[in-house]
């Protein structure tokens, strides 16, 4: 599948069927075959946080929200879901090569324990002034 295409998937455990979700309410999932966390609104892909999963490590490579949804807080929702999912699994450390994810973690110290290293080593690539 390419970015923006969607096949119906079974609902993630604990969430209602997509057909019964209220209109306009975003939800997130880890789309393992696509190596990305996704945020979905009204059955449409609204954004992704792409990653490379290796034993013991998840490297975030790119985060993108569809332009029509920019400014709605979906990037933060997606980052929170992704990092909470990684914490719950307890099996991976995070490498934020994606500038958005690095800034998000820098601004939310409660996630810095998930890092493979210290946040400072990821900030030079994006510039500390932009945190």
Contact (Cβ atoms closer than 8 angstroms) between residue 113 and residue 92: no
Higher-confidence residue: 8 or 110?
110
Mean pLDDT, the chain, integer: 85
Q: What's the pLDDT at 15? A: 52
pLDDT class of 4 with cuts at 50, 70, 90: very low
Contact (Cβ atoms closer than 8 angstroms) between residue 93 and residue 122: no
Q: What's the pLDDT at 124? A: 65
What are the structure tokens assigned to 30, written together? 């880890």
If you count them, how many residues does the chain have? 131
- pLDDT (mean) for 72-78: 97
What are the structure tokens assigned to 89, written together? 């699994």
- pLDDT (mean) for 15-36: 82
pTM comes to 0.80
Q: Which of 97, 93, 99, 123 is nearest to 111 (CA)?
A: 93
pLDDT class of 123 with cuts at 50, 70, 90: confident
Q: What are the backbone angles phi and psi of residue 78, rounded to the nearest 5°?
A: -65, -45
Rounded distance between C-alpha atoms, residue 104 and residue 43, angstroms: 26
Cβ neighbours, 10 Å, residue 15: 13
What are the structure tokens assigned to 51, written together? 């990653």
């Amino acid at each position: 599948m390419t970015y923006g295409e969607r096949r119906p998937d079974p609902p993630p455990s604990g969430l209602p069927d997509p057909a019964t979700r209220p209109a306009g309410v975003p939800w997130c999932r880890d789309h393992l075959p696509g190596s990305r966390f996704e945020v979905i609104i009204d059955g449409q892909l609204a954004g992704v946080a792409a990653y490379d999963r290796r034993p013991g490590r998840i490297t975030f490579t790119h985060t993108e929200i569809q332009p029509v949804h920019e400014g709605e807080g979906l990037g933060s929702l997606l980052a929170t879901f992704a990092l909470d999912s990684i914490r719950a699994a307890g099996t991976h450390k995070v490498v934020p090569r994606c500038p958005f994810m690095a800034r998000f973690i820098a601004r939310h110290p409660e996630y810095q324990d998930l890092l493979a290293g210290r946040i400072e080593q990821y900030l030079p690539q994006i510039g500390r002034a932009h945190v």
